[in-house]
Structure formats: structure tokens, C-alpha cells
Structure 1
Amino acid sequence: MIAKISSTENLGGALGYNFKKVEKEEASILLAQGLYQNKEGTYTMAEVFADMQAVIPEKCRTKKMVFHCSLNPHPDEKLSDEILTQIAKEYMETLGYGKQPYIVFKHGDIAREHIHIVSLRINGEGKKINDTFEKRRSKKITDALEKRFGLIPSSKFADKAVEETTKIDITRGNIKEQVASALRMVLKHYRFCSLGEFNAILSKYNLVVEEVKTEFRGKKYDGLVYVPTDDKGGNVSTPIHASDIGRGVGYTAVQNRIQKSKQAIKPLIPAIRHRILEVMCSSPQTEKALQQRLEEQGLCVFIRKNESGRIYGITFIDDEQGVALNGSRLGKGYAANVFNTYFSNPAHNPFLDETLYGSPSVRLEQIDKAQALFQSMEDGDNLVDELIEDMADGSFLPTGNDDWKEAAWQRKLRRQSKIKLRRRKH
């Protein structure tokens, strides 16, 4: 079960969103805590709004006083109203909102049934409910609820989301909704360190992102637009500005995702290098053969070419790990240039050049050792990256009897010595 919590100052907006679903018979009210129920035994938007508004002091120091949360069971779960109600009660009680006025809606407008809860972040005395580490505490609560009610773990959501997300098809209509759905999945599941890597992932869903720079009243602004494409990458619809899609897909959000990804992907790089090296040692003669053999290794490859057919970009995507990496990010020996040279002359495979790398079996063993070193050394990410990149460009020639830890340690000392010398000169 996944919980999505938001804060807002617009009580009418949070309630209105849910009550409109009720009016359209796309949602129903499961529970109301501490709210007025009329003679008909129902709840109306106006009455619930008035009840909650009465709790908010005229001079409220808390700006975003509205708590809005959705609890999302796994799409394969079919839970009864009684269980969903009990889950909502226990969730709110444990999170600290048990004595607050709140209302619970069950949404059935999409295949995945889920619930929304609207409450207040301040009590009757105008004091703010403790929200310290709220999302972290929420995750612990949902994990406990999964065990208590025997629910499918939230870890299974990503695989399901990737499987269910299809290519954007403008003939189906609702283009903006299709684009928003694909973006939400990609930005949640995948990690990438550049817009190029982001585009490599989006291309699988017939979508491309473009950066837009504008100037207004002397100030410069950066933005993003998303463009639906066909299978060949040609534009098939009007670009959609990120602000028209909603929060979380704009320039700032994507840049934040890029920054967070840079550290997260480092532990994955050696293993991805290893799998690519295994494929290249088999000397695939065509790009199609490379693609097929990489798929057997759980990798997709996205190749970019210029008008003359030269490969100028190559990105490897691991759907299971949720990561996209440009070849150059893996090391010099995995850059687009190397693959372009190889496919221009498949008879000469640089990955089999023993004068640079040693035998293929030795190289694979070296990368295995590099991965082990990564796990055992605190600063292994930088050291292993350097060692493997040196193997790729031939500046490190292993003898077969090297002590890898000693070699790495010596390299680190040399690097630190160079830094100290530069500082003294300045």
C-alpha cells in the first residue's frame, strides 16, 4: 500500500475534488469522523466544509492547514468497504490524526480502487498536529498495515506500473492524461542523470521532452514541454507544457530527480558494465543483434544517430533496476564512439583487444573483483569507476597477480598527493 500525502490551504478544493467524484458516482463516502450528518444520513459538501472551517481560527498561523492523503492498495487487491474503513481508521489514529475531523472517500473511477482522506492539520485550539518525519512515519504505518491485513507489499507496485504503462496513442484521445500517466510512472520508477537519459526512457512510450528557455520582464525562466511521437520519433501532436500537466513534471522537479539520481546509480554501474561486456565479447555483428543479446541480459539500448548514420549517443536502460545510463557515464570504453567504430568495422572488436584489456575471461573476472571491492570499501564508487575506466582506455594493464585493494589504495594516495601539491603551488 502506498500513501501519498499533501498539504494545502485550499479546503474547498480538497473537498470539492472528492465530492465531485461522489456526484458523478465515481466515488463514495466510507467514513466521517467528527462531522455533522444530516437527517437523511448523508454528508454534503457545504455541511462538511462548514464543520471543518469552524475548527480553523480566524488568525491561523499555519498556512497549509489541510491534510489530504490517498491510500493506494496494489491494483490486484480487491478489498471490502469494511477493510478499507478499518485501514483508514488505523492509519489516521497511528499518524496522529485520530481525534481530528476527517472524511474518507473510496474512489472507483479507475481500475485501481483507492481511498482519499481529507482532514485538518490544526486542532480545535489552533495548534498544529505534529508532522515531523510524517512521510517516514507514514511508510512504517503502511508497511505494518500490509502485514496486519495480508496485503501485497508496496515493493510490487513498480513492476506492475511499468507493465501496465503503454505507449501514447493519439487515436485513443485524452492525450494529456496519457502523457501524465506515463510521466508519473517514469519519474517515480526510473533514475537518470541528464535530459538525454530521461528522453531515452520516454522514447519507449512515444514521448520526448524538450527544454524551453524564456525571458519575462528581464528574468530568465527554464521550462519543459512534452511532445507525443510516433514509433520513429516524429512529432504527432502539439507540445504540452509541463505546467498544463500538473505538479511534479516541471523543470525543477526533473532537475531534482537528476540530482538525487547521481549518487543512487553509482552502485549499479559495475554490474551494468559487466553485462554489456559479456554481450560485446560475443561480437554481435549488427545493432539488432546487440539489442537482442542485451535484452537477454535485462537491458534495453537506445541508439541515437545523425543524418549520415553515425552513432553519436547510446543509452542503456535497466527496467528492473529503474535506471538509464549513457555509455559515456559507464566509462570511456562504453561511449557511443566505441560502438560506432565497432559497427563500422565489426571485424575488429575493441572489446577483444588483449593488448588493452587482457583476455575476455580475465576482464570479466577483474570486473567481478571490482564489484566486490565496491562493496567492501567505503569510497569504492570512485575507485572502482577509475579502475574500470582505466581498463577501458588501456592506461591500467593488470598482470593477473595484482592486489586490487592495494592498487586502489595507492591510486587514492597518489591522487591526494597531487591535490596537496596543487594547493601548495597556489
Structure 2
Amino acid sequence: MIAKISSTENLGGALGYNFKKVEKGEASILLAAELYQDKEGNYTMAEVFADMQALIPEKCRTKKTVFHCSLNPHPDEKLSDERLTQIAKEYMEALGYGNQPYIVFKHNDIAREHIHIVSLRVDGEGKKINDKFEKRRSKKITDALERIFGLIPSSKVANKAVEETPKVDIGKGNIKEQVSNVVRMVMKHYHFCSLGELNAIFSAYNLTVEEIKTEFRGKKYDGLVYVPTDDKGGKVSTPINASDIGRGVGYTAVQNRMQKSKQAIKPLISIIRYRVLQTMRTSPKTEEELQQRLEEQGLRVFIRKNESGRIYGITFIDDKEGIALNGSRLGKGYAANVFNAYFSNPAHNPFLDETLYGSPSVRLEPSILHPLQQNTEESDNLVDELIEDMADGSFLSTGNDDWREAAWQRKLRKLSKVNIRRRKH
């Protein structure tokens, strides 16, 4: 189960998004804690809004007073309303919102049923509910709820999305839709710090991305185009502008993803480096042999060569963890020119040099090999930050409906606040 948490000052927008779903028959109200209910047992947006608004002090120092969260079980889960309600209660209690007014909506407008919760981040005295390490705590809570209720682990959601996303095949038609599915999955699941690393990921899906620079009326613009390729990386179709695919895949979005990835990759660099080192110490004779042995280590390698056959780029990809690292990011001893020199003369293996790479008998500490099992606060924080960034604002879907829903939420947030009081007068 994956939780997506957001904070906003737009109470009307958060409630309006969910109540519009209710009006269309695409959602239902499962629970309303500490909120007014009419004689028929129904809840209206005006009444819920008025109740929550009245609890926010006029001189409240917290600007983003609204808590909005969605809880997304695995698409294969079929949970009763009673079970979903129980999960919502347990989640809010554990996160520190058990005494807050909140309302729970179940959305059924797409195949994957999920719930949304709207609450307040401040109590009646204007004191802010503790949100320190909120997303980290949320991840631990959802993990615990998965165990308690016997739910399918959220890790399988990510793996399923990666495994079920096919290569782009121009022969099947709907090229833009195929490209969109691949790009959105990669943007949600993977961390990368350069376009080269992103293209290394795309290589498994017969796709590449290119940066374009244009000038219009004296102003310079940066953009991206996505180009379908064949299995050898050759372009086989007309480039598709990122703007034609939709929001969240353009130049700014990719740049933001790179910035977030810089922190997220830190806990895994030593692990990837260790696997590569141990593989190279088996002295693979060819690039194909290297690829095969790395796959046994759970890694995929993407090698870039110039026209003369010289290796000028090498990227290691862990599809399970969703991370791509250029060799140079592992350290100077793992740069592309080192691998080029090695494959030019495999008889001389620099990775066996203990003065450069350490003793062949050395082993990483268990805390490095298995970061999720660490007990220290520092290591927990590193892993939690990685998980937080991977789950931040994005549920990994197996279709197209989830990103449309997210886009609709963003649109609503940008609208002006709903003026409920004006309606009542």
C-alpha cells in the first residue's frame, strides 16, 4: 500500500475534488470523524467545509493547514468498505491525526480502488500536528498495516509496473501512448542524475530522449523530445515532443527528478560499486560476458561507444531498486576509460590491484549490504529518504488512469479557493 501525502491551504479545493467524485457516483464517503452529519445521515461539502473551517483559528501561523492523503492498495487487492475504513482509522491514529476531524472517501472511478483522506494539520488552538519525518513515518505505518491486514506489499506494485511495461513497438500503432506509458513509468520508478543515465534506462524499452534548444522572439527555450528506437538504438520513428505527451515529462520535470535523485542514490552507491567490483574480479573476457555476470548480480549494464568502437560511457542499472549510475559516479576507478582499457587488453585487470581497489578478500559490512536491516538512526534515515523520494506524489500504475487523476488534482489546487460562505448567503 502506497500513501501519497500533500499539504495545502486550499481546504475548498481538497474537499471539492472528492465531493465532485461523490456527485458523479465515482466515490463514496466511508467515514467522517468529528464532523456534522444531517438527519438523513449524509454529509455535504458545505457542512464539512464549515465544520473544518471553524476549527482553524483566525490568527493561525500555519499557512498550509490542510492534510490530504490517498492510500493506494495493490491493484489486485479487493477490500471491503469495512476493511478500508479500519485501515484508514489505524493509519490516521498512528500518524498522529486520530483526534483530528477528518473525512474518508473511497474512489472507484478507476479499476484500482483507493481512499482519500482530508483532515486539518492544526488543532483547535492552532497548534500544528507534528509532521516531522512525516513521509518516513507514513511508510513505516503502511508497511506495518500490510503485515497486520495481510495485504500485498507495495514493493510488488513497483516491480509489476516495471515488468509489465512493454518495449515501444512502432508496428503496434498508438506510438505516443506507448511512449507515454514508458516515460511515466520510468519517471516514477527510477532515479537518475543525467540524461545519459536516463537513456541507459530507456534502452531496455526501445526509447531515447534528446535535449533540444530553440529560440523564439529572442528568448531561448529548452525542451525534450522522445524518440522510439530499435533494439540496437537506431531511431525508427519521428520524435515526439514532451509537451505532446503531457505534464510531468518535460524538461523541468526531468531536471527536478535529477535533483531529487542526487540524494536518493547515496545509500546505494556503495552497494552497486561492490557488485561491479566483484564481477570485474572474475575477469570477464568480453562485454557480453560482463553483461551476463552482472545480471547474476541483479544489474544491467549499458555501454556507449563511438564510431571507432571506443567505450566513452558505461551505466549500471538496478531495475529492482530503480537506480541508474554512470561508472564515474561509482568512483574514478569505474569510469568508462577504465573499462575501455580493460577490454582492449583483458589480460591486464586493474580491478585485481589491491592498492587501487582494496583486498580481494574484503567484504562490505552487513549494514551496507542490507541497509533495510540497519538499526541506527542515521542509516534508517538514508533508506527512508530513498523510499520517500521514490513514493513522493506518485503511485506506480499499470495503466493511464492514475496520472490523469493526479493531473486533475493539480488543476483543482490551482483554482481559486471555493467560497462556501458566499453560496450560503
State the TM-score, normalizing by the size of structure 1: 0.68
What residue is the counterpart of 1:181 in the other structure? 184
What residue is the counterpart of 2:316 in the other structure? 316
CA contact (8 A) 2:32 2:101 kept: yes
Shift of 1:246: 7.8
CA contact (8 A) 1:70 1:114 kept: yes
What residue is the counterpart of 1:350 in the other structure? 345
Q: Return the alpha-carbon distance in structure 1 between the equivalents of residues 275 and 339 of structure 2.
A: 19
Q: Return the alpha-carbon distance in structure 2 between the equivalents of residues 146 and 259 of structure 1.
A: 27
What residue is the counterpart of 1:404 in the other structure? none
What residue is the counterpart of 2:94 in the other structure? 94
What residue is the counterpart of 2:226 in the other structure? 227
Is 1:171 aligned with 2:163?
no
Q: CA 1:165 to 1:88, structure 2 compared with 1: closer, same or farther past 3 Å?
A: same
Q: Return the alpha-carbon distance in structure 2 between the equivalents of residues 316 and 124 of structure 1.
A: 52
Q: CA 1:64 to 1:364, structure 2 compared with 1: closer, same or farther past 3 Å?
A: closer
Shift of 1:69: 0.8
Q: CA 1:62 to 1:213, structure 2 compared with 1: closer, same or farther past 3 Å?
A: farther
Q: Return the alpha-carbon distance in structure 2 between the equivalents of residues 64 and 176 of structure 1.
A: 36
CA contact (8 A) 1:202 1:208 kept: yes
Shift of 1:8: 1.0
- When structure 1 is superposed on structure 2, of 238-247 and 126-135 the one drifting more is 238-247
Q: Return the alpha-carbon distance in structure 1 between the equivalents of residues 38 and 274 of structure 2.
A: 64
Shift of 1:358: 6.6
Q: CA 1:213 to 1:51, structure 2 compared with 1: closer, same or farther past 3 Å?
A: farther
What residue is the counterpart of 1:162 in the other structure? 162
CA contact (8 A) 1:176 1:245 kept: no
CA contact (8 A) 1:200 1:324 kept: yes
Q: Return the alpha-carbon distance in structure 2 between the equivalents of residues 176 and 56 of structure 1.
A: 45
Q: Return the alpha-carbon distance in structure 1 between the equivalents of residues 119 and 249 of structure 2.
A: 23
CA contact (8 A) 2:284 2:290 kept: no
Rg: which structure is higher?
A: 1
Q: Return the alpha-carbon distance in structure 2 between the equivalents of residues 21 and 174 of structure 1.
A: 26
- Which amino acid counterpart does residue 143 of structure 2 have in structure 1? D
Shift of 1:196: 1.8
What residue is the counterpart of 1:256 in the other structure? 260
What residue is the counterpart of 1:238 in the other structure? 240
Q: Return the alpha-carbon distance in structure 2 between the equivalents of residues 357 and 91 of structure 1.
A: 49
Is 1:275 aligned with 2:270?
no
Give secondary structure in 1 for the equivalent of 2:146. helix
Q: Return the alpha-carbon distance in structure 2 between the equivalents of residues 168 and 14 of structure 1.
A: 37
Q: Return the alpha-carbon distance in structure 2 between the equivalents of residues 295 and 336 of structure 1.
A: 19
CA contact (8 A) 1:72 1:115 kept: yes
What residue is the counterpart of 2:68 in the other structure? 68
Q: Return the alpha-carbon distance in structure 2 between the equivalents of residues 163 and 330 of structure 1.
A: 26
- Which amino acid counterpart does residue 92 of structure 1 have in structure 2? M
Give secondary structure in 2 for the equivalent of 1:369. coil
Q: Return the alpha-carbon distance in structure 1 between the equivalents of residues 365 and 88 of structure 2.
A: 45
Task: List runs of 5+ in structure 1 lacking aligned partners.
Answer: 344-348, 377-426
Instruction: Show CA shifts across 1:210-242 (max 9, x none).
Output: 5578999x9999x76462533336364432259
Aligned positions of 1:97-176 closer than 5 A:
97-167=97-167, 171=174, 174=177
Instruction: Show CA shifts across 1:163-220 (max 9, x none).
Output: 2344457716657862663144334xx4x4433223311333455455578999x999
- When structure 1 is superposed on structure 2, of 144-153 and 59-68 the one drifting more is 144-153
What residue is the counterpart of 1:369 in the other structure? 362
Give secondary structure in 2 for the equivalent of 1:244. coil
> What number of residue pairs does the alignment pair up?
360
Give secondary structure in 2 for the equivalent of 1:100. coil
Q: Return the alpha-carbon distance in structure 2 between the equivalents of residues 358 and 58 of structure 1.
A: 68
Shift of 1:321: 4.1
Instruction: Show CA shifts across 1:119-171 (max 9, x none).
Output: 11123333322323322332333233223222234444443332234445771
- Which amino acid counterpart does residue 142 of structure 1 have in structure 2? T
Instruction: Show CA shifts across 1:297-356 (max 9, x none).
Output: 43322222335554322212122343323234456665434555676xxxxx633337x6
Task: List runs of 5+ in structure 2 lacking aligned partners.
Answer: 370-425
CA contact (8 A) 2:276 2:294 kept: no
RMSD: 4.2
